[in-house]
Structure 1
Amino acid sequence: MEKQVTVKMNKSYTILISLIVALGGFLLGFDSAVISGAVKGITIYFEMTEWQLGFSVGCVVFGAMAGNLLAGPLSDRFGRKNMLIIVAALFSISATWSALATGYTEFIIARIIGGIGIGGAILIAPIYIAEIAPPKLRGSLVSFNQLNIVIGISVAYFSNYFLVNMEGESWRWMLGVEAIPAVIYFFALFTVPKSPRWLILKLNEIKLARKILMKIGGEEYAETTLAEIQRGLDRKEEKGKLSDIFKHKYATIMIIALGIAFFQQITGINAVFYYAPTIFEQAGGSTDSSFLQAIVVGLTNLVFTFVAIWLIDKLGRKPLLLIGTTFMTVALLMATFAFNNATYNFNDDTLSKVGNKEIMVALSDLKGQSFDGQAALFTEVSAKLDDELFLEFKRNEITNFISINATLVLIAILLYVASFAISLGPVMWTLISEIFPSKIKGIAISVVGFFNSLISFSVTQVFPWELSNLGPTVTFAIYALLSLCAVFFVYKYVIETKGRTLEEVEELLINK
């Protein structure tokens, strides 16, 4: 009876410290999504162009790329726990500074600091949990980090909804509120132990490592784990070099990894997460309703992440990818269809909603006219406004005139997010952790993660320009075409890894 109690207490302790560390994932998700509610406010306050807005949103990913490159080497040198504490400090500094920023440049610097924290959290937290967790609990405990990312996104949407109508500059509150969980994370990390494996590998602190391992799993677990670590030290396998990933025998592996990393971002998921309220406003929704719809997007992402965790070992990686990318394509085509069939009507009611009086006067002679699609609308309106007013019209006034099936747009976005959440979202990271041989796994995953962040940055940078200049119809059509390409890529190149050992996967891909 006493032994059973001890095991239960050890399991509870391991779950507790894993949950604390996984708060980094929560901050990662929150920081990534909270900007969606601040887009309109920061655009007006800092008087941004489309490219400046794109960079102010996407620069977080730019910082994450630097964090990706620094996290691995620095956590090896200074320890997982110490680097996570620094990551928490970076999130705190970023949230506070971006909320208080009075100039565009300092706002960008503050956002990049948060991005570095994101890049560190997404790599270090799973590494720490994997090193601290017993084998039987490792899979579920590591998944806490991905789950917390999704929860962080949902909480950010809720937070934005409740703060949007605050007096003054509500965007400052939206960005600044992140400092609260960041500070909690910072102090909570001091209660977790250092990684036993790191203590042995870097400091040869066997006595302290044994004490931590005994608290996690008991004496037998501690001795077994210490023996495994020692065997790893005795083996001293040569680490892979960057040049190794370009060898011909790894070609198929790199095609799969880089291809999945490319399609995960190029199909527009972060554009939807970062600009969700903007998209719904483009569909004619009010500010309040667009923020409420963004909450539904976050909850959909959360629910279907649970579905993915449930299905990934039952249905398999490739079937989930094929199902998800197919329905992503369908959803994006639905959004394209909805915006393509929108009409723009000029009458007393729609003209009275225009906030800019100069624009309202210039467009008053269009009263009684209706336009099918943005191309015809832009041609007519651009002839009546100078460049500055035309930009203002596209950004803030066009939604006053649109008549669209907003329900179809909402269904399309929810279907798209749900499809992503069961496929490209979680499956990519699972797949690339399985297909790389141990010799090159560390360096290869860093390269793929950097490439994934680079594509994400490009998408978020270009999206505001696409909406204003190409219109939502063409924008969603482009994403639909890219999503269709993802279906064919998965069908042709991706192999099923379910039920296979890592050695079997390695042998299959290298022979291929």
Structure 2
Amino acid sequence: MSSYKKNAFTYSIIVAIGSFVFGLDAVLISGGFKFITQEFNLTASQVGLIGSAPGIGVLIALPLTAYSANKIGRKLTLQIIAIFYVVSAIGSALAPSFLALFWFRFLGGLAFSSVTLASMYIGEIAPVAQRGKLVSMLQINMGVGFTLAYLINYWILQQMGSDTQWVIDLNLAETGWRWMLGIEIIPAVIWLLLLAIIPKSPAWLIYKGRIDEAKKSLSKVYPENEVDGQIQQMVDSVDGTEGSRSTMGQLKEIFGSKMRIVLILAMTLAIVQQFTGMNAVMIYAPTMFEQLGLGTDAAFSSTIWIGVIGLISTLVSLTLIDKFGRRPLVIGGLVLIIISISTVSYGFKQATYTVTPEAIVKMNNISEIEKLNAIVGKEFNSDIEFKNSLSDILGVESARDNSGLIFKETAHMNSILILLSILTFIAAFNFSIGPIMWVLLSEIFPISNRGVAIPLFALISSTVSALVQFLFPLEMEMFGATTTFIIYAGIVLVGLIILYKYLLETKGLSLEEIQTKLQRK
């Protein structure tokens, strides 16, 4: 591999570490929900707030990121984001109350814009032939972060029940969730230090009129005989767009008639990616798997498969994206997503819940479990009806805190079908719209408005994400899994129809060629 290709790979890997930290931050909380809920006695809406706090934070961060990325540059903005990650991880691990945890998780959300900015930066330094693979590394690193987070959570859960001396000294049985959240401090600090190595974005330098610096920066990732040509293409993209350099000017350009198709594509990608329900599944996976009757320990161990399959699928996407192109992977992936989450909905629809005398004996460590004799033999066809009955008989707190064991002994469903469908959904998302949305967003906008466009549509995506994450516990409590997942399938179907009509293939095209094909004359 030539030195300039190695440099492009190295810089992309460093920037993509931010996605690894993002993956840790997003998923580590999943292992703590059960214990945080018990310690702070949270309601479903409060659980939703903790889960969606980063999503709410990123809504504020993205407009600021757009301004900062244009004003002070991509590199310095990334360094500021890394500091937010460090402070958020420390504060979350030490949070003394629900409110404190919410605000530190919210601060972490300010750093979630790292994924958006990283896709912008990599798209601007990556050679055309490598751009799809290098931008896809964001999703790979995110997948590694997800997988490692699930492994960490499971390992800590196992140790929490141990009576070894170090567990007792750390009071791990009571503080396990704090260690889950605090482990993020280490990679966040490492990322902050490594960001000092990367060069400034050549596209941003040209945007600022610093042509000589841009040439020096671009020469690190392109052969010397290609630098001038690449610089000229970037200059041509910026020339004549002086009026659009202001935020309002760029917004007018994005929403102008010339960019109608680009707008439709970006809006659809941003909304559909989140309305698949992926982030809700990732964050609330242990809680959801408990409802399959797996029990707490098996629910945590099963989440590891989510991370592993997600990572493998992303690697498959990496190998295929520049071979088969963006469009086939996105369209095919969305079809598989619709089928898999519809099957999840069907699986929960067929489930029944019955308390038996044998089940009560197995649950004898639950306080006042004998009260369930009142519903022995009664078959419940709805998870909502069953959970409401449990709350009425045992009390809300007891029913909530012991849900893992209760569902393990009373649920009757095709849990293998549901589990396999969830894992198929994870795979489909991670080889299609998951990583490829960021690739497409880094390709379809011109330099003249990319600094505002990518954060804008990431903001839209994050708004939907925060909404989905906040509503998921409430939907599961009020409507049940059957209705929740069929809603996701319906929204994805609408998105599939739109993308099938408008999404063109961008493989092998320069950024300028893509914009020529997409923009209306």
The alignment's TM-score, normalised by the length of structure 2, stands at: 0.86
Change (3 A) 1:422 1:364: same
Equivalent residue for 2:31?
37
Distance in structure 1 (CA, Å) of the matches to 2:202 and 2:508:
30
Secondary structure in structure 1 of the residue aligned to 2:462: helix
Q: Which moved more, 1:399-408 or 1:485-494?
A: 485-494
Of the three residues 185, 190, 196, the one matched with 1:184 is 190
Identity of aligned residues (%): 36
Judged with a 3 Å threshold, the aligned counterparts in structure 2 of structure 1 residues 238 and 354 are, in CA distance, closer, same or farther, namely farther
Does residue 155 (structure 1) correspond to residue 161 (structure 2)? The answer is no
Q: Distance in 1 between matches of 2:491 and 2:275?
A: 7
Give, in whole Å, the separation in 2 of the partners of 1:315 and 1:215. Answer: 29
Q: Distance in 2 between the 1:106 and 1:290 partners?
A: 28
CA contact (8 A) 2:241 2:448 kept: no
- Distance in 2 (CA, whole Å) between partners of 1:98 and 1:109 is 8
1:10 Cα deviation from its structure 2 partner: 4.3
Q: Does the CA contact (< 8 Å) of 1:267 and 1:483 recur in 2? A: yes
What does the per-residue CA deviation read over 1:83-120, in whole Å, with 9 as the maximum and x for residues that have no partner? Answer: 2222222111111110111111111111111111111x
The aligned residue for residue 129 of structure 1 is: 122
Q: CA offset at residue 395 of structure 1?
A: 8.2
Code of the aligned partner of 1:146: Q
How has the CA–CA distance of structure 1 residues 233 and 341 changed in structure 2, closer, same or farther, with 3 Å as cutoff?
Answer: closer
Aligned residues: 503
Partner of 2:98: 104
Q: Tell me by how many angstroms 1:234 deviates.
A: 6.5
Question: What pairs up with 1:65-80 in 2 under 5 angstroms?
Answer: 65-80=59-74
Deviations 1:26-85 (A, max 9, x none): 111221122111111111112111111111011111112222212232133333332222
Aligned partner of 2:54 in structure 1 is 60
Residue type at the aligned position of 1:72: A
- 2:323 and 2:306 map into 1 onto residues whose CA distance is 26
User: Does residue 1:419 correspond to 2:412, yes or no?
Assistant: no
For 1:433-452, list aligned pairs within 5 A.
433-452=442-461
Offset, 1:171 = 0.9
Over residues 384-438 of structure 1, what are the superposed CA-to-partner deviations in whole Å (9 max), with x where a residue is unaligned?
A: 4666666667687445421222211210111111111222212322333444455
Residue aligning to 1:146: 139
- Is the partner of 2:353 in helix, strand or coil? strand
CA apart distance, 1:338: 1.9
> Do the aligned residues in 1 keep the contact of 2:237 with 2:446 (CA within 8 Å)?
no
Shift of 1:449: 1.2
2:306 to 278, 290, 297: 297
Displacement of 1:456: 0.4
Q: Which residue of 2 aligns with 1:464?
A: 473
Structure 1: which 5+ residue stretches go unaligned?
1-6
The match for 1:26 is 20
Closer/same/farther in 2, CA of residues 303 and 378 from structure 1, 3 Å limit: closer
> AA paired with 1:324?
G
Aligned residue number for residue 330 of structure 1: 339
Partner Cα distance (1:378, 1:35) in 2: 24
Per the alignment, residue 169 of structure 2 pairs with none
For the residues of structure 1 that align with 2:265 and 2:8, how far apart are their CA atoms?
A: 34
Q: 1:85 aligns with which of 79, 90, 99?
A: 79
Deviates more, 1:127-136 or 1:338-347: 127-136
Residue 224 of structure 1: CA displacement?
5.8
Structure 1 residue aligned with 2:463: 454
Superposition pairs for residues 7-22 of structure 1, below 5 Å?
A: 8-22=2-16
Mapped to 2, the partners of 1:59 and 1:96 lie a distance apart of 16
Any residues of structure 2 matched to 1:16-415 within 5 Å, and which?
16-119=10-113, 121-165=114-158, 166=160, 167-168=172-173, 169-195=175-201, 198=204, 202=208, 204=210, 206=212, 220=225, 237-239=242-244, 240-351=249-360, 352-353=362-363, 356-358=366-368, 360-378=369-387, 380-381=389-390, 384=393, 397-415=406-424
1:425, 1:217 → 2: CA distance?
28
Residue 235 of structure 1 deviates from its aligned partner by 5.6
Greater shift, 243-252 or 26-35, is seen at: 243-252
Which piece of structure 1 moves more, 275-284 or 435-444?
435-444
Matches of 2:8 and 2:517, distance apart in 1? 35
Deviation string 1:243-297 (CA, Å, 9 cap, x unpaired) is: 3333344334322321222111112111111111111111011222212211111
- Matched to 2:377, the amino acid is G
RMSD (CA atoms):
3.1
Q: CA–CA distance in 1 between the matches of 2:214 and 2:255?
A: 37
Q: Distance in 1 between matches of 2:405 and 2:478?
A: 14
Q: Residue 394 of structure 1 contacts residue 468 of structure 1 at CA under 8 Å; is this kept in 2? A: no
Gap change, CA 1:230 and 1:245, over 3 Å in 2: closer
What per-residue deviation string (whole Å, max 9, x for no partner) do you get for residues 332-363 of structure 1?
A: 122122222222121233224266424x2432
Provide the rounded CA distance (Å) in 2 between the counterparts of 1:61 and 1:370.
39
Once residues 309 and 464 of structure 2 are traced to their aligned partners in structure 1, the CA distance between those partners, rounded to angstroms, is 24
Q: In structure 1, how many angstroms separate the alpha carbons of the residues matched to 2:303 and 2:75? A: 34
Structure 1 CA distance for aligned equivalents of residues 132 and 388 of structure 2 = 55
Partner of 1:4: none
Structure 2 CA distance for partners of 1:442 and 1:355, relative to 1, 3 Å? farther
Q: 1:395 to 1:458 in 2, by over 3 A?
A: farther
Q: Distance in 2 between matches of 1:321 and 1:497?
A: 12
**Equivalent residue of 2:324, what SS?**
coil
Does the CA contact (< 8 Å) of 2:123 and 2:135 recur in 1?
A: yes
The alignment partner of 1:312 has SS state of helix
